[in-house]
Amino acid sequence: MSLSEIKNELKRLGNAGRATHALRFFKTGKGEYGEGDKFIGASVPDQRAVAKKFKQIPLTEVFELIKSEFHEHRLTALFILVDKYKKTDEKTKKQIVDFYLANLKYVNNWDLVDSSAHKIVGEYLLENPGERDILYKLARSNHLWSKRVSIISTFTLIREKQFDDALKLAEILLKDEHDLMHKAVGWMIREIGNRDHAVEKKFLDKHFKCMPRTMLRYAIEKLPPAEKSYYMKK
């Protein structure tokens, strides 16, 4: 199993129309967050299937794949990493987390982050809570995708009803200027509310007046209509 085989298979699964649509969907124009990205047009299910087929490739080849100029190569590399993380020992898990964090400059769009952060960093920090300072370093960086990794990683913790880190990170990121961070933070607050409405309400009551409107909309999406109306009108 080689890197060239993976690339050839993804190329075979590509579609020109899908690639053209992706250029617009992932905002690849000048000055946009995905500026300059390139696409083959392979579907996400196809990429998952390729990743599963080639999951045994070593990290050295995953590195070559993740730094590719093609979006699908990078996403497939991340699917491979996620699969490796699920099925390995503690020592190798740490190596995968370190590899992931060292290569965040290639995890450079929201789908790449959202497909991997909580499944690698989040899972690791669930098992190793003493290392959660990683999240705060990422959140305080000047790198959009590192900041998104920080908050999306808490999805795994939220699922286990461990809300503290997500709430603290949400406060750090509350005034972030990027719409993609507004959406990510709002999404995690909503996920907290799905599990504990009182915790979400306490956070909203404290912060809703200064939350960006998109963040607030995402956070209150699942609330009863009367509560949703209250927060939006105020």
CATH number of the domain at 114, please. Answer: 1.25.10.90
Question: Cα separation of 179 and 215, whole Å?
Answer: 8
pLDDT at 1 over 80: no
DSSP single-letter state for residue 37: -
d(CA 226, CA 84): 45
Q: According to the model, what pLDDT value does residue 2 have?
A: 84
Is residue 133 over pLDDT 90? yes
Collapse the DSSP code of 36 into the 3-class scheme (helix H, G, I; strand E, B; otherwise coil) and give the result: coil
Residue 52 maps to a domain = yes
Give the residue numbers spanning the domain of 125. Answer: 3-173
Average pLDDT over residues 53-67: 95
What are the tens digits of pLDDT across the range 61-110? 999 999 999 999 999 999 999 999 999 999 999 999 999 999 999 999 99
* DSSP at 192: H
Name every residue whose Cβ is closer than 8 Å to that of residue 214 and which is 6 or more positions away in sequence. 179, 182, 183, 186
pLDDT (0 to 100) of residue 234: 75
Q: What are the structure tokens assigned to 157, written together?
A: 């913790």
Residue 196 lies in a domain: no
**Within a domain: 35:** yes
- The tally of domains found in the chain comes to 1
Angle of CA points 24, 27, 33, to nearest 5°: 170
